[in-house]
Structure 1
Amino acid sequence: MVRIYNSILIALVFNISWSQNELNLISAISDKNKVVFSCENNTKISLEFLDSKNIKFWYAPEGNFNRNNESFAVINENFHANYAITVNESASVYEIFTDDLRVMVYKSPFKIQIFNKYQRLLLGDDDSRPYTVEGTKIKAYKKLRNDEHFFGLGEKTGSLDRRGNSFIMWNSDKPCYSDREDPLYKSIPFFMSSYNYGIFFDNTYKTTFDFGKESKDYFSFSAPNGAFIYYFMYGKDYKEIIKSYTELTGKPIMPPNWAFGWAQSRGLLTNEELTMDIAKQYRERNIPCDIIYQDIGWVDGLQNFKWHKDRYDNPKKMLSDLAENGFKVIVSQDPVVSQATIEQWQEANSNDYFAIDKRSGKSYDMPWPWGGNAGVVDFTKPEVANWWGKLQQQPINDGVKGFWTDMGEPAWSNEESTDRLQMKHHLGMHDEIHNVYGLTWDKVVTEQFEKHNPNQRVFQMTRAAYSGLQRYTFGWSGDSGNGEDVTSGWKNLANQIPLGLSAGLGLIPFWTTDISGYCGDITNYDEFSELYIRWLQFGVFNPLSRAHHEGNNAVEPWLFGPETEQIAKQCIELKYQLHPYTYTLAREAYDTGIPIMRALVLEFPNDENVYGIDDQFMLGKDILIAPIIKEGATKRMLYLPEGNWIDYNSPEKMYSGEQTIEYPVSLKTIPMFVKFGAIISKMPIMQYINQIEHAPVIFEIFPSEKPSAFELYEDDGTTNNYKRNIFSKTRIESHGSTSLLEISLFENQNNLFKTEKRNYVLQIHLPSKPKKILLNNAKLKPTTLSKINEDVNSNFNDSGFNYSSENQILTIRIPDSKQKTIISITK
């Protein structure tokens, strides 16, 4: 009898799946921007056009367009008000036309193909089966072309090009993860194809993506439960697709300007004496630093937001003293309350603030890595927000500047931890909420911070998240490094590059690796120093650069010896010098979603040579970085894309693009190239952001005969006024010829934000001394380099130039008049 029953059950499942393979379309109803197709077996498919390039698909095998919860990620589907489409019907097909797309919906068997207006197939259903249904599981199959490449899915290990691999979305705590391990901490079900489209699969369950691993003829994505909704986004390039995804899921908030400085942390950096000593060492050694982190041990009880009395004598005074010296302190949060923290646990338990164990109806008893068993705070419950907001405000009132939200998977809730599926949250069972648990927490943290600190810019960096996180938080890549042997973490370092670039493609523009790698005991600092340097040389170009390591393994630069300290100091100083350039890119990320660290495919989408490059990236559009990721390297093979390139370390060396070169390196070398024509905004080296008042703006110019431009972005750096477009922009242009170079600084475009008095310093790379220099048609006088740098922060009346034949750099100093200024240089 059991065998007969099982056979019947298998047959039913098979028939359900088979019936979806052979779907036939019965009818269609269209209304303005939406078409609903009715098929056999009550199946319905909705196509809703957000505009001429973006479509929302909803596949409903039972004919009901219902979902348990509104989207956690999507906040805007109104791309084009009152948008309308054209629908034509023939005997075998429906055709839907927009200005950019032609969508063909075949009646029998049912399938959909999307073409651009030039009749090039962008995305097509697999001919044999567009969808399969097995119980609550739905799977979509799409045509896979031989030359198709895929990028995205956020923080995932492996190569940037996802083709030939499969991936799972299930936020997982994976300490010391390998370069091929999946899943990891974040779930970003958004990817892009080299055929000019992107897909966002808006399903929070344990979704899977297969980019040709199962078959070379199709790729697929599936969900075990929930509404089967995905968004198709067409664009001329990856940047345009990311802009659509940003419009769909929201702009990334900007960090405070000091967040782009250097940050120091360690697992047991959890006491006042150590914190003050680290701060003292940084300032005495003149190594720039803005942020010192405190890990979870800073609290008296998990998670009551009270300072540990045995570790902090006077936390308010500590924070005040640090602030006077330019340091900001960030503290850790965990999303649980330990049962040992009796008063808080009882309060939360009595108010039903914890996730419930559906078997007992009581608060779920979660084993936690420290602090003993705990209750899991249910951030999907509205009443929790104000309670948590008041608690987290306590250290903010003391002077803390922000949080890093750790362990939000929640920790130890990996694929094998099936008991966690018994948790019931206010908005649903854990299989639906798991991937968005961290997102709901980060939403509460930011909204409550802004409620208690009006118009102040939040700093919040998270480990676990889902699409939409950019509206509330920033990201870091979790517990990287080799836990078995810290000195053997070269593969772990190498993997952080494509992982970070993929994070940027998934709308996590403000990101960092744990510089040094989190995992592994450091028993010999000399042996580890080379890997530490190489990790740092990559990490200083992360938007948020944090040195961090587990336990009491300290990774301050001076611990590795004088040579390493000096190399680290120079790298960190370079990060600070590039701050105005990076901060301008931060505004671009806010406006467009385009990350600061960019995979080469973003800037060179038509160059197939860059598809397989995982170890180089662009910093903005003008700077190329090729970190060293091999032990004992004396040379580096690297690819220069289209264009002409200047070696930033030796500007007299120039290279043509679309070639691979062998580049010599030493321990202190960071291979770094800039485009011909690039204009890089810089600032003087400071020990912390905004240390020097009235500091000059430095423009380093690599002139070419083609016109080039840069627009410097500035705001107050700490408030949310940037969201109201209160900022300043200054445009600088360079126009060159064989005999003349003209530099134009345009009138400062400010919207209620006025820049301070200051000077401009132009560093122009020229192979020979110019014959004549005019400033607004008046002859500019030569002077010494020391005179140019003298009182540059206080004297705003003097102008002059100096040419160094040795460095082949023309340095010009002029006051920032806030008006249009033209500098004419006769070569």
Structure 2
Amino acid sequence: MKFRDGMWLTAEGMRVEYAEDVYNITQTEKGLSLLCPTRKIFQRGDTLNLSTLTIDIEAASDGIISVETTHWAGEAVKGPNFDLFPDGQPKIEPQITQGVKGTTLNAGALSATIHPDQHTFDIRFHSTDGSKALTSLLNRSVGLAYSPGPSNPMQTGDMRDFKHYIFTQTTLGIGETVHGLGERFGAFNKVGQSISLWNADGGTSSDQAYKNVSFWLSSRGYGIFIDTPGKVELEIGSERCSRVQTSVQAQRLKWYIIYGPTPKDVLRRYSILTGKPGKVPSWSFGLWLSTSFTTNYDEATVNSFLEGMKERDTQVDVFHYDCFWMKAFTWTDFVFDSKRFPDPKAQISRLKESGLVKKVCVWINPYIAQHGAAFKTAAEKGYLLKRKNGDVWQWDLWQAGMGLVDFTNPDAVKWYVDCLNGLFDKGVDCIKTDFGERIPTLDVEWFDKSVDAHKMHNYYAFLYNKVVYEALQARYGTSEAVLFARTACAGTQRFPLVWGGDCESTPEAMAESVRGGLGLGLCGYAFWSNDIGGFEGYPAPWIYKRWVAFGLLCSHSRLHGSSSYRVPWTIDEDNKSEEGCSRTLAKWTALKTRLMPYLYAQGAKAVENGWPLSLRAMCLEFPEDRTAWYLDRQFMIGDSLLAAPIFDESGEVEFYLPKGKWTSFFTDKIRDGPGWFKEKHGFGSLPLYVRENTILVLGKSGVKGAVYDYAQDVEVCLYQVTEGASAELVDNQGNTLGTLKIDPSGELEGKGLLKGSWTTSDNGREVDELYSKTIEWL
């Protein structure tokens, strides 16, 4: 939303009024309240016939300050509202001081200072110790706008024909970059972009996003969380090049500025504000295999998939039934298609008893088709969203005559959970919560009359996933619940995990997916996945294999397509060579399995701190390296592993290593950073580098499945370690066993934690020399 036409003119059809003065500062219980007229006040008569904006600046927590701008305070405050500080708000005693630089509010590590001159609109946000200037609200940076612009103030007595906006413009420093705002598939650095935070089913090749998160991270050591689930419009250096403009159609706009100083610190504080990611079970890190979307399948097909994977040396930990486990025209009615699955409970039991798979997942959504068994009950009992005239809200987009579950109705929630429990009774262990983006805002009435329909559009994702996640927790235990969700908003990181949505089977789409995962990770999402091989289309064998390498280095890994299967032998006519799809998948699945002691320990750190496990943007680990803020084709896996997917059929790849010594995981060769490097790889490898001073614990070679004893028969690999280098050791339930550590003499402490025939490798790991023939340094 742009309010100006360049520097000098107001946009056509707009009226814009800016806070020009800080006429009065009042101390409140939590901070300061600023009365800001929209023209400078020099005499008493100047106070008449003008608008004012109230800016409330409050200490929310250590390093967190809220800023709320209000025009007309009488606007009805409707929900839903984000569930902030879900684990309890830390106590903070705001401190207010006055000095030559103005009035300062201190919230622990973060402060805000208001300029002492009433006629100079200037609010500065900075570290309390004065070491870091963060951002500011300067001249003409806070305002209100009307569209169309009224020609006479009397016209605003009837607001039905006017739209009213509140906006703020925080300054952008020279060279400052902006990241996050959810799972966005365009350029990683958002400066220069116009972004609307509005959930939409737009695939991965547009400016629409399934997961719009109202939080962005700055390279200057702070983040901003916009506290509204309604539609937010951002102009990030795209209306004024030196400012980030945030606007909402409302009478109020509230946001929180969160100080670091490091980006990891920002995310840690953000996770306190909006919630920490939930813990996921170890089995969920294994390979997931799907039936795909519109393909035909039954018990024989499923068995053939899993037996074929076993024959080709690949263990599947989770099998996923997509839409057509239910009959056509009946989604979602929670009823297995009796023709294809006459006894689903027995079939699922047989699958698990065979050892072909550990867990089973099924696809659902909150859309209830008119022709399904569930619709009549849901409609009659008032469990579906209604139109204002009392009709059930329905349309024919997606499912014929579908309605939408009204999760603001407690009875509807109970009914939906009862439906889920019916699936759990049949042996279903986890749920793919698809859709939830197309939530209507016009001509609708929610059961909870206190909610605003426009705010419900994005927030519905939170309610939907919360209901399903908590149902899984109630059945299987707090730490055993896991989703595969597509839509999200701020706070939904509490209900892991999410996947990237509908991507094409192209290298460009794989790069889009990487950017999406990086951006979402910078919004506090610890766990993320994507459709290996691409969802739409038919991947060429080389794309499939390169995507397999990328996908098995994500926190979670799923093979899934649309109208074609993703089992490897269907991709390349069952090429059985070492470079074929089947052997490539087997190698990368085996590698991820060996990495589980590292991945699961790093996952616990990610949950505790609100950090992404994978994909972790390079700037989180190397914030002082300016190049790291622009890297969107590579990522960290936890603290110590760097991966660079390959997007070219030739196998050539260019990547960047920050300062330090980096060891190739596949060859033990060492590179010195910082610098750009080029390599050429076969399908069994990619640039995977281990950071210096790392203790990397690997599971026993040949182990099958993600769940095993992470302290038994392991290989402890040391990479240029010095005193103090350490690695947490956890079991497959996430319990901390202890710490491996390098002592002052250079010896490894904590060996008593290890069991069986464990080994230590002092300069890297025991590598397969065959890789030296397939990796070329260019």
TM-score (norm 2): 0.87
Establish whether residue 337 from structure 1 lines up as the match of residue 386 from structure 2.
no
**Counterpart residue number, 1:620:** 638
Establish whether residue 348 from structure 1 lines up as the match of residue 357 from structure 2.
no
Partner SS, residue 445 of structure 2: strand
Q: CA deviation at 1:805?
A: 13
**Aligned amino acid, residue 577 of structure 1:** R
Q: Is the 8 A contact 1:703 1:764 kept in 2?
A: no
1:295/1:586 Cα in 2 relative to 1: closer, same or farther (>3 Å)? same
1:576/1:710 Cα in 2 relative to 1: closer, same or farther (>3 Å)? same
1:557/1:445 Cα in 2 relative to 1: closer, same or farther (>3 Å)? same
Q: CA deviation at 1:536?
A: 0.9
**Aligned amino acid, residue 423 of structure 1:** V
**Counterpart residue number, 2:748:** 743
**Counterpart residue number, 1:672:** 688
Establish whether residue 424 from structure 1 lines up as the match of residue 452 from structure 2.
no
Establish whether residue 94 from structure 1 lines up as the match of residue 103 from structure 2.
yes
1:276/1:78 Cα in 2 relative to 1: closer, same or farther (>3 Å)? closer
**Counterpart residue number, 2:95:** 85
Partner SS, residue 61 of structure 2: coil
**Counterpart residue number, 2:406:** 378
Q: Is the 8 A contact 2:196 2:232 kept in 1?
A: yes
CA distance in 2, matches of 1:145, 1:805: 48
**Counterpart residue number, 2:625:** 607
1:348/1:449 Cα in 2 relative to 1: closer, same or farther (>3 Å)? same
Cα deviation, 1:362-385, whole Å, max 9, x if unaligned, reads: 111122324x12111111222211
**Counterpart residue number, 2:317:** 290
**Counterpart residue number, 1:731:** 739
Q: CA deviation at 1:421?
A: 2.6
**Counterpart residue number, 2:713:** 696
Partner SS, residue 758 of structure 2: strand
Establish whether residue 219 from structure 1 lines up as the match of residue 244 from structure 2.
yes
Cα deviation, 1:176-217, whole Å, max 9, x if unaligned, reads: x32xx1121011110111111100001112212221122212
1:119/1:677 Cα in 2 relative to 1: closer, same or farther (>3 Å)? closer
1:288/1:700 Cα in 2 relative to 1: closer, same or farther (>3 Å)? farther
- Name the stretch that deviates more: 49-58 or 331-340: 49-58
CA distance in 1, matches of 2:96, 2:326: 61
1:78/1:110 Cα in 2 relative to 1: closer, same or farther (>3 Å)? farther
Mapping for residues 198-597 of structure 1, pairs under 5 Å? 198-225=223-250, 227-265=252-290, 266-267=292-293, 268=295, 270-300=297-327, 301-324=330-353, 325=355, 326-341=357-372, 343-358=373-388, 360-370=389-399, 372-410=400-438, 421-427=442-448, 428-455=451-478, 457-481=480-504, 486=505, 489-520=506-537, 522=538, 528-556=540-568, 559-560=571-572, 561-562=575-576, 563-597=580-614
CA distance in 2, matches of 1:109, 1:405: 51
**Aligned amino acid, residue 182 of structure 1:** D
Q: Is the 8 A contact 1:143 1:217 kept in 2?
A: yes
CA distance in 1, matches of 2:84, 2:395: 30
RMSD of equivalent CA atoms: 2.8
Q: CA deviation at 1:466?
A: 0.7
Q: Is the 8 A contact 2:110 2:125 kept in 1?
A: yes
CA distance in 2, matches of 1:283, 1:83: 60
Q: CA deviation at 1:263?
A: 0.8
- Name the stretch that deviates more: 677-686 or 432-441: 677-686
**Counterpart residue number, 1:28:** 26
1:212/1:77 Cα in 2 relative to 1: closer, same or farther (>3 Å)? farther
Q: CA deviation at 1:592?
A: 0.6
CA distance in 2, matches of 1:53, 1:530: 48
1:11/1:648 Cα in 2 relative to 1: closer, same or farther (>3 Å)? closer
1:715/1:575 Cα in 2 relative to 1: closer, same or farther (>3 Å)? closer
1:478/1:121 Cα in 2 relative to 1: closer, same or farther (>3 Å)? same
Q: Is the 8 A contact 1:126 1:218 kept in 2?
A: no
**Aligned amino acid, residue 59 of structure 2:** F
Mapping for residues 644-723 of structure 1, pairs under 5 Å? 644-651=661-668, 653-684=669-700, 685-690=702-707, 695-705=712-722, 707-716=724-733
Cα deviation, 1:766-824, whole Å, max 9, x if unaligned, reads: 49xxxxxxxxxxxxxxxxxxxxxxxxxxxxxxxxxx999989xxxxxxxxxxxxxxxxx
Q: Is the 8 A contact 2:32 2:105 kept in 1?
A: no
Which runs of 5 or more residues in structure 1 are unaligned? 1-9, 414-418, 718-726, 749-756, 768-801, 808-827
Q: Is the 8 A contact 2:541 2:571 kept in 1?
A: no
CA distance in 2, matches of 1:803, 1:388: 51
CA distance in 2, matches of 1:494, 1:14: 39
Cα deviation, 1:342-365, whole Å, max 9, x if unaligned, reads: x5212111221111122x321111
Partner SS, residue 95 of structure 1: strand
Q: CA deviation at 1:438?
A: 1.7
**Counterpart residue number, 2:55:** 45
Q: Is the 8 A contact 1:558 1:564 kept in 2?
A: no
**Counterpart residue number, 1:118:** 130
Q: Is the 8 A contact 2:94 2:106 kept in 1?
A: no
1:225/1:540 Cα in 2 relative to 1: closer, same or farther (>3 Å)? same
Partner SS, residue 738 of structure 2: strand
Identity %: 24
Q: CA deviation at 1:693?
A: 10
Cα deviation, 1:280-316, whole Å, max 9, x if unaligned, reads: 1122222121011111111243222111101113211
Mapping for residues 144-155 of structure 1, pairs under 5 Å? 144-155=172-183
Partner SS, residue 484 of structure 2: strand
CA distance in 2, matches of 1:803, 1:340: 59
Q: Is the 8 A contact 2:524 2:610 kept in 1?
A: yes
1:364/1:456 Cα in 2 relative to 1: closer, same or farther (>3 Å)? same
CA distance in 2, matches of 1:122, 1:201: 17
CA distance in 2, matches of 1:578, 1:188: 30
CA distance in 2, matches of 1:806, 1:543: 27
Q: CA deviation at 1:51?
A: 2.9
Q: CA deviation at 1:121?
A: 2.3
Q: Is the 8 A contact 1:25 1:110 kept in 2?
A: no
1:103/1:64 Cα in 2 relative to 1: closer, same or farther (>3 Å)? farther
CA distance in 2, matches of 1:226, 1:76: 26
Partner SS, residue 658 of structure 1: strand
- Name the stretch that deviates more: 376-385 or 75-84: 75-84
Partner SS, residue 174 of structure 2: coil
Cα deviation, 1:147-189, whole Å, max 9, x if unaligned, reads: 11111112001222211212111111113x32xx112101111
CA distance in 2, matches of 1:213, 1:349: 46
Partner SS, residue 348 of structure 1: helix
Partner SS, residue 747 of structure 2: strand
Partner SS, residue 306 of structure 2: helix
Q: CA deviation at 1:632?
A: 2.0
CA distance in 2, matches of 1:760, 1:625: 29
- Residue in structure 2 matching 1:57, options 67, 72, 88: 67
Q: Is the 8 A contact 2:569 2:582 kept in 1?
A: yes
1:517/1:532 Cα in 2 relative to 1: closer, same or farther (>3 Å)? same
Cα deviation, 1:719-763, whole Å, max 9, x if unaligned, reads: xxxxxxxx2232112358xxx741111665xxxxxxxx9325123
Partner SS, residue 606 of structure 2: helix
Q: Is the 8 A contact 2:96 2:103 kept in 1?
A: no
